[in-house]
Amino acid sequence: MKNLIYFLLPVFFIGFTSCDKETDTIIIEPIDDLPDISGYPLVGTNQTTAYGNQDEIAIPSSGADFFGQNANYPGTVPSYKDNDDGTITDLITGLMWTKSPDIDEDGDIDANDKMTAGEAADFASSYKVGGYSDWRLPTIKELFSLILFSGIDPSGYNGTSTNGLIPFIDTDYFDFGYGDVNAGERIIDAQFATTSMYVDGDLLFGVNFADGRIKGYGLQMPFGGAEKTFYVLYVRGNETYGENDFVDNGNGTITDNATGLMWMQNDNGGGLLWKEALNYAENFEFAGYNDWRLPDVKELQSIVDYSRSPGTTNSAAIDPLFNCTQMTNEAGQVDYPYYWSNTTHANWSQVAGGNAAYVSFGRAMGYMQDWNDVHGAGAQRSDPKVGDPADYPTGHGPQGDAIRIYNKVRLVRTIQN
């Protein structure tokens, strides 16, 4: 598809005594064939493999152990169109994306393509990929629409080759690069910038398509370092994407007309292992419905309200129509839970299916000399499906992510048309 078309048209000028023929160049604007889509349609996670507490299993049937996971409820299949001009159209969301984070266009995706948060926001107005001039830096909800949990988390991998690793984005359509090890980065340093700042700290929410997480990232590197830099994909179209339209049904349920989902107004009130959470959901009946289920991680993230947090609104990061059970976190603060999704966060290790993804509606705690909110309310990380939280007294991973294992549940159902 050619987006920029030049026509040479003859233009005639009439004088008093002569007729001169001149040629002007008329530039026709790029052809805009974005799908006529508005609202907040959710894209499925692309997770079609089933997992037990540790390993891959056959996709379970109704009533069997581990039924109710993401492979049983795959959601809308991702669908993209390559426009052959450096842009990709998401046919589900109606958003158009830049195809590659290769900003300097040298054919390599590396540290030289990364920008600070300020640079990324400023550069959007001058970016002209595809001939368009209305590119913008995405919100966290727009960017998270691209994540696919068919990826494999390489965290803990000590090699330098990325052969065999699978990122959390569709590389049949999008170009992708892991962290630039030649520049001293880790393989997992593939954080992508958004416009979404954490309301309770100097953190920028970003999506890491290398390890499959949302985290709030400090704008400065640790220990007085330079400004942190990010990969960037720009977006255009469907400016209502990510906006919820909640209605209190007056019966303990909340409908989101933007996504077509109905939610439980209350959570389950207690911590559960992942397998227990699946079983709880599949046997739950409420308000005349028996098709409640554990949400996938993209559905769960869709109800985060990034304008709210325990530290700024004394609430969970969710619309006040919802109720969240309070808890005491690792630092002794009144806080709000992590909530299980039905999505496994697959890892390259021998225990490939040992973790499941959660969304933190309270502080995303981590241990770095002491306990702090290291990644922000609205982060998406993962917990072991089984185990004892006492085995992780200082958390796990580079920022000491708090490991709870027994997480809360908020159920969802799809509204039938």
* Residue whose C-alpha is closest to residue 365's, from 411, 327, 324: 327
CA distance 101 to 113: 7
Q: Is the pLDDT of residue 29 over 70?
A: no
Strands 246-248 and 253-256: antiparallel
pLDDT band for 4, please (50, 70, 90 cuts): very low
Regarding whether 357 and 284 lie in a shared domain, the answer is yes
Please state, in angstroms and as integers, the Cα–Cα distance from residue 142 to each residue in 116, 124, 157, 240, following that order.
19, 15, 29, 10
CA distance 79 to 3: 21
Regarding whether 246 and 233 lie in a shared domain, the answer is no
pLDDT tens per residue across span 75-132: 999 999 999 999 999 999 999 999 999 999 999 999 999 999 999 999 999 999 999 9
The enclosing H or E element of 274 equals helix 274-282
Single out the residue in 237, 265, 299 at which a domain terminates.
237
Single out the residue in 185, 219, 237 at which a domain terminates.
237
Beta bridge partners, 365, equal 373
Q: Does the residue 71 lie in any domain? A: no
Mean pLDDT value of segment 403-413 = 99
Mean pLDDT value of segment 248-255 = 99
pLDDT tens per residue across span 322-381: 999 999 999 999 999 999 999 999 999 878 999 999 999 999 999 999 999 999 999 999
Q: Which of 66-80, 236-250, 315-329, 345-359 has the lowest mean pLDDT?
A: 345-359
Mean pLDDT value of segment 265-293 = 99
CA distance 385 to 54: 8
pLDDT score, position 357: 99
pLDDT band for 2, please (50, 70, 90 cuts): very low
Task: Share the mean pLDDT of the chain.
Answer: 92
Structural domain count, the chain? 2
pLDDT score, position 31: 63
Q: Is the pLDDT of residue 11 over 90?
A: no
Regarding whether 346 and 210 lie in a shared domain, the answer is no
pLDDT tens per residue across span 175-233: 999 999 999 999 999 999 999 999 998 999 999 999 999 999 999 877 667 899 999 99
Q: Is the pLDDT of residue 67 over 60?
A: yes
pTM of the model: 0.91
Q: Is the pLDDT of residue 25 over 50?
A: no
* Contact in structure between 172 and 99 (CB atoms under 8 Å): no
* Contact in structure between 78 and 41 (CB atoms under 8 Å): no
pLDDT score, position 30: 63
Residue 277 structural domain: 242-414
Question: Pick the residue with more confidence: 231 or 25?
Answer: 231
Regarding whether 252 and 209 lie in a shared domain, the answer is no
Regarding whether 247 and 229 lie in a shared domain, the answer is no
Single out the residue in 220, 237, 254 at which a domain terminates.
237
Q: Does the residue 145 lie in any domain? A: yes
With b for 16 or more beta-carbon neighbours within 10 A and e for fewer, the 103-133 pattern comes to beeeeebbbebbbbbeebbeebeebebbbbe
Regarding whether 202 and 147 lie in a shared domain, the answer is yes
Q: Does the residue 24 lie in any domain? A: no
pLDDT tens per residue across span 158-178: 888 899 899 999 999 999 999
Regarding whether 397 and 251 lie in a shared domain, the answer is yes
Regarding whether 211 and 91 lie in a shared domain, the answer is yes
Regarding whether 277 and 130 lie in a shared domain, the answer is no
pLDDT score, position 8: 31
Plot region of 36 (φ>0 → left; ψ -120 to 50 → alpha; else → beta):
beta
* Residue whose C-alpha is closest to residue 349's, from 118, 165, 87: 165
